[in-house]
Structure 1
């Protein structure tokens, strides 16, 4: 879904999948000259966020009770060995502070997502990079909804 989103702009933009998808979105905006509150940019941002949600679902699944989905998350968090039970996988993931956009971005590579020591560090990183995941996307599966955190106010 993320590559398909960028492909609609292929006549004027070359998507580089090795880069962060969020960085690529902001580069697209710069190359097309879209200002922050311009309607075209706002609509494209909405479509990009939906593509991120659908990409997460494609990569990791939608079921919060799927061992395979949780193991994929653990793998991209650097677990070695990957836990063999659903409870151990959940425990590892839920006690880890990671940006969900980064999890989408590392899926097709042998990289692991950056893990932060605290939710406050994750919040600062997310705000600095603009790597926000949509909280209210109609396409979000149960797994993604289970992982979303209040990143702007991490003490909630």
Structure 2
């Protein structure tokens, strides 16, 4: 008889990736070849889908709304609804806020100060390792922190990585939103 494998330590963590709302959205287009993966850029995949389907501007706009709703649903499922302190603390740790805030109000204030693109956070969560103890969560090195809103705006415009506030239903997600459009 071979010895039983030792169970993983609770702090070692396990990969979190499970297909989510975004993957279901892509898979709902049956003529589109898509395999759920934690490493794919969801925005590049949406652009590939639009090209594959030959959508015109009106259809692309309609589908973008469905896609954004899927992003919000997945973000809320992965990050949390924001009703629990641990949701906010985990987000704070993932984006590199130190020291760890001890209340939801403190978390919101610290997170609001950060200039981070929401899609970077979503991709970090799609590649995350589950860690039970929030103190053991490590900051994600893939999340780019910008010095100011102007830098974030420039990057977001260049890469077309906007997330419209109308789609941000999850309250944790709202904590990351910044006004990035140029005023006319």
Normalised to the residue count of structure 2, the TM-score between the two structures is 0.70
Structure 1 gap segments, 5+ residues each: none
| C-alpha distance 43-17 of structure 1, shift in aligned 2 (>3 A) | farther
**Match of 1:107, SS?**
helix
Are 1:116 and 2:135 counterparts?
A: no
- List, as ranges, runs of 4+ consecutive aligned residues in structure 1 with deviation greater than 4 Å: none
Are 1:131 and 2:145 counterparts?
A: no
Normalised to the residue count of structure 1, the TM-score between the two structures is 0.81
* Structure number, greater radius of gyration: 2
What CA RMSD, in Å, does the superposition of the two structures yield over aligned residues?
Answer: 2.4
CA displacement, residues 73-115 of structure 1 (integer Å, 9 cap, x when unaligned):
1232135x76151255334312210011221121022444211
Aligned twin of 1:102: 120
Shift of 1:143: 2.9
Paired residues in the alignment total 149
**Higher RCO (C-alpha 8 Å, min separation 6):** 2
Aligned equivalents of 1:134, 1:51: Cα separation in 2: 13
Structure 2 gap segments, 5+ residues each: 1-20, 129-139
1:31 to 43, 52, 59: 52
